[in-house]
Structure 1
């Protein structure tokens, strides 16, 4: 399993060297966009909106737009120094809380944690302490140049770090439009709804749920592939780099020169041309 971060987690005086591994994977089917005419992939180029020229990576800088059309430019070196300054610090668990106190809306991404060299015993200690106390740890960590609030918990005998949103990243539910302020339902309607919920209540089994759309899309792709309903991108014609002007002119002349008559050699053609004026003189 690929390691995407190395560091240490600490609580109190206990320090645990750990590695992070992405716990989930994106199963979305990636579809390419093609030119309808020749079925070649479409390129997306970075072009300046004013100069209308294509930009190279070295022509691009990062900036923060603090007001419409006004920017503060940030150098790559400044961002890198700021990132290293925060990443080099050990991640400290700042609080322990009950899991049910954190609403699921806060959760973002999951990472498996494994002990790094020499961290096995401390890893086991934290895992056991979290299981016995039925608590989770809250910590801060820098991942991919962004500070994250994180929950450390136990999942199937493995420590898992769940990054969670900061409070100001979660929009206020009160701002959602058209939400009724009062429950205008009858007792009979409520009893019927609760009865339906009870009838559909079961134990959560994740294996029961599948991505039906992805399965159908894969089946469609496979049926088209095996039925030879495929297209091939048109190959780009090679560009001849002619740097010499005379060579370019000669190549153009040769390309437009009419072919010699069938069965006639260059020598015979030249002899015929010389014979024409002589015949006129004798006449």
Structure 2
């Protein structure tokens, strides 16, 4: 099984070297787009709309559009330093909660965790402790330049890390259209439902978890913006169609000119007068 991340996870003073492996896979059929005539794969080029030429990868920079038409350019060094600072941090379990306190809407992706070199005993300890306490761990991890909030739990004798969404990444249910304002339910049904809701929301507090990497990135953007390190794209000048219009007019005039009748030869006209 392919390893996608190597590092360590800890709780208290216990440190466990681990490896992450994707627990799921995408089996969608991916289609390519071809030229209908010759069946060649279509090539998508990166073209600057102002310069009207293809742009190479080394000529492309990343930027944040903080307002319409205004950008903050982020250097690769800035992003790499920010990424390195976060990736070097060990993954630490912040809290332990009951899994029933986490609504399924927060879950994103699943990863199997295997112990690294010398981590077998600590791995078994965490697995047994989670199983006996009926708890799951809440941790943070940086995967592919994004800080993820995650749940560490036991699944079929294997530790699993489930990445979950931050609360501000979940859209509000109030925006869902056509939801009935109220339903006709019995008092017993209502009491049971309220009791269940109370149990699920008693201790889990997602608001106290924040995406530190994203916040630091926004701080970097704001620092560059307030420091006037901003750029504005050059506006593309509209093409003048005067030349094309004049050429079309001249071509139309030339096309509609009446054709001149061929002139008679003088010799033929003199000969005719003599004969007469």
What TM-score, normalized by structure 1, do the two folds share? 0.64
- Separation of aligned partners in 1, 2:7 and 2:38: 50
Please list, as runs of the form range in 1=range in 2, the aligned pairs for 1:203-218 lying within 5 A after superposition: none
* Cα root mean square deviation, aligned: 1.4
- Separation of aligned partners in 2, 1:60 and 1:184: 59
Q: SS of 2:53's equivalent?
A: coil
Identify the structure with bigger relative contact order (alpha carbons < 8 Å, sequence gap 6+).
2
Number of the residue aligned with 1:90:
90
- Separation of aligned partners in 1, 2:149 and 2:49: 37
- Separation of aligned partners in 2, 1:158 and 1:115: 10
Aligned length: 187
Number of the residue aligned with 1:181:
181
Number of the residue aligned with 2:35:
35
Gaps of 5+ in 2: 190-276
| CA deviation map 1:43-96 (0-9, x unaligned) | 111111222211111010111111111111111111111111111111110001
- Separation of aligned partners in 2, 1:113 and 1:66: 39
- Separation of aligned partners in 1, 2:46 and 2:184: 54
1:22 aligns with 2:22: yes
- Separation of aligned partners in 1, 2:28 and 2:50: 36
1:170 aligns with 2:170: yes
Q: SS of 2:2's equivalent?
A: coil
Q: SS of 1:83's equivalent?
A: helix
What TM-score, normalized by structure 2, do the two folds share? 0.66
- Separation of aligned partners in 1, 2:63 and 2:155: 40
- Separation of aligned partners in 2, 1:2 and 1:138: 24
Q: SS of 1:8's equivalent?
A: strand
Query: 4+ runs of 1 displaced by more than 2 Å?
Result: none
